[in-house]
Amino acid sequence: MTRRQRTISKAVSCTGKGVHSGIPVTARFLPAPENNGYTFVRTDLPGKPSIPGSLDAIVEHELARRTTLARGDAKVHTIEHMLSAAFALGIDNMTIEMDGPEAPFLDGSALPFANLLTSAGIAEQDTESTPIAITRPMAFTSGSAEISVVPDEQFRVSFFYTSDEPLLRNQSASYVIEPDAYLREIAPARTFCFFHEIEALRRAGLIRGGNLSSAVVIGRKAVVNSSLRFADEPVRHKILDFIGDVALLGRPLAGHFLAWRSGHQVHAAFGKFLKKELGL
**204 contact partners, CB below 8 Å, separation of at least 6:** none
**For residues 186 and 184, what is the distance between their CA atoms, to the nearest angstrom?**
6
Quote the distance between the C-alpha of residue 98 and its chain's center: 17
**For residues 255 and 141, what is the distance between their CA atoms, to the nearest angstrom?**
18
Closest CA to 67 of 56, 83, 79: 79
Contact 7, 91 (CB under 8 A): yes
Helix (H) or strand (E) segment spanning residue 265: helix 264-278
Distances (CA, A) of 179 to 97, 111, 144: 24, 12, 31
**14 contact partners, CB below 8 Å, separation of at least 6:** 26, 27, 104, 106, 112, 113, 116
Active-site residue list? 264
Contact 37, 7 (CB under 8 A): no
Helix or strand or coil: residue 274?
helix
**For residues 55 and 78, what is the distance between their CA atoms, to the nearest angstrom?**
14
